[in-house]
């Protein structure tokens, strides 16, 4: 993997999807994918393709940073599940970095938080597996 490449924009024709920005960069244990904006059905394919590319090139873990996602719908949720399935099939770890907001609310309402691994950098995560509706702050607020 080329460690000198720095951030790489993973959405082709960015002007066609102004509501979404996906970049990747090399990380110590694999690849970090940062997502900003709206993760919905309109951009589902672009998100899955970007994470699939990271899974193929990571050589380890893929950390998907969703802390700057301002909106997520069922299409975005479906794409997260698809990426998790792809990672499991590839034998690669997929880790989510989240902050309390639209992503954690949708995961909790959907009852699927226990499917995902959350990074230590996440500011919120489930209190315990099997209790996806309750989140607590890791910052003490």
Helix ranges, the chain (H): 44-57, 74-90, 102-110
- In angstroms, what is the C-alpha Rg of the chain? 14
For the chain, list the domains and their CATH numbers: 3-137 (3.30.750.24)
pTM: 0.77
Is the Cα dihedral 72, 73, 75, 79 positive or negative? positive
Distance CA 111, CA 40 (A): 19
Confidence label for 41 from pLDDT (cuts 50, 70 and 90)? very high
DSSP conformation class of 5: G
DSSP conformation class of 135: E
139's tokens: 């910052």
Distance CA 22, CA 17 (A): 10
Confidence label for 9 from pLDDT (cuts 50, 70 and 90)? low
Distance CA 112, CA 42 (A): 22
Residue 25, pLDDT > 60, answer: yes
Note the pLDDT tens digit of each residue in 48-72: 999 999 998 887 899 999 999 999 9
Confidence label for 39 from pLDDT (cuts 50, 70 and 90)? very high
Q: What is the pLDDT of residue 124?
A: 61
């Amino acid at each position: 993997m080329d460690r000198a490449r720095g951030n790489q924009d993973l959405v082709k024709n960015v002007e066609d999807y102004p509501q979404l920005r996906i970049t990747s960069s090399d990380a110590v244990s694999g690849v970090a994918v940062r997502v900003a904006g709206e993760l919905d059905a309109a951009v589902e394919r672009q998100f899955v393709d970007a994470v699939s590319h990271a899974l193929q090139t990571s050589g380890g873990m893929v950390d998907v940073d969703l802390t700057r996602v301002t909106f997520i719908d069922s299409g975005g949720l479906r794409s997260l599940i698809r990426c998790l399935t792809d990672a499991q099939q590839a034998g690669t770890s997929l880790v989510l970095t989240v902050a309390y907001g639209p992503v954690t609310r949708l995961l909790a309402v959907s009852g699927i938080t226990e499917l995902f691994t959350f990074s230590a950098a996440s500011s919120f995560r489930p209190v315990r597996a099997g209790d996806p509706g309750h989140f607590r702050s890791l910052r003490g607020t």
